[in-house]
Structure 1
């Protein structure tokens, strides 16, 4: 079973984290028999966060207590642009995750966090269309426009908000195959 860690913070865009969370949480090998993914939510301190538009979310754990995961997902939102992209504790943690995680991924402006951590140096990446210029400010990032996601192997970035769902299905196919994607999308009534 693959372990997924999703980082949460104040002013995180709700669908940025909830979309991938839903995709991975409802994926089973056999309907309700063998769960394919174990999803953990993580915040800097483990305390409740206030997502975009006031949604209160209680993460499972803190950065200090976070388990090793196969996939780390950094969502975006106003909090990513204004604070998390410059959060030294988060950036240090992400750099350390490179040694243990198979994939570090971002949704929307979460790409700015990855870029500031140096994880996008020399790579193709995408983000929300409204932040292409912000991402391009990191001169060694080759910003891809008008795509849902960009897969650079151990780094995967996705466009804005709902594109995180497409990216989650892409990662699911990478780990578990097309049939898992088909079954999960059908269960969610999601049009691939």
Structure 2
């Protein structure tokens, strides 16, 4: 079984988290049945953006990265405190440990910023949120990443993207990397994303 860890910081964007939950879940039920998703955060209940509350499976302190095959990081809103936890040393260390073992790290929108802040995107290509005068893209570059102005960027084991609009495709790419192109296409079709 391939296990995905959904890493949630306070202020996470619920839509971006939900695509990982759904696509990995659909595969467990109607795909090749080889993927499971578990969530973690600093607290048992993580407060997301817009008043969303999410009860996680694990605390970050309980995670053994050897138990997981991939890490999924949704973005979030500064207004809801996203960077307070996304830039926490323990959050960044978890990212570093996944990369050190060449495990897949999939992020959406500003979920790429903690990856870059951790140092693992130094001199690697990546992207992030591309609106609001490009401030997030400038931050990404300041952390040492090489900005590629594309909706989705893959550099070896790391997927980054630039907005919530890319969320479904990022989750499908993660599924493809964990299983196969054929299985990814099957899930895409039965979820109605192939029209």
Report which stretch shifted further, 96-105 or 70-79. Answer: 96-105
Aligned counterparts, 1:136-147, within 5 A? 136-138=141-143, 140-145=144-149, 147=150
Structure 2 portions without partners, runs of 5+: none
Distance 1:190 1:10, change over 3 A: same
Structural RMSD (CA): 2.0
Structure 1 counterpart of 2:46: 49
Aligned counterparts, 1:1-192, within 5 A? 1-28=1-28, 31=30, 34-45=32-43, 47-67=44-64, 68-79=67-78, 82-100=83-101, 102-130=103-131, 131-138=136-143, 140-145=144-149, 147-191=150-194
Structure 1 portions without partners, runs of 5+: none
Give the secondary structure class of the aligned counterpart of 1:129.
coil
- Structure number having the greater helix percentage: 2
1:74-117: per-residue Cα shift (whole Å, max 9, x none)?
21111575323421111122222234452122211011101110
Task: Provide the TM-score with structure 2 as the length reference.
Answer: 0.86
Task: Provide the TM-score with structure 1 as the length reference.
Answer: 0.87
In structure 2, what is the Cα distance between the partners aligned to 1:95 and 1:55?
28
Q: Is the 8 A contact 1:126 1:132 kept in 2?
A: yes
Q: Is the 8 A contact 2:106 2:174 kept in 1?
A: no
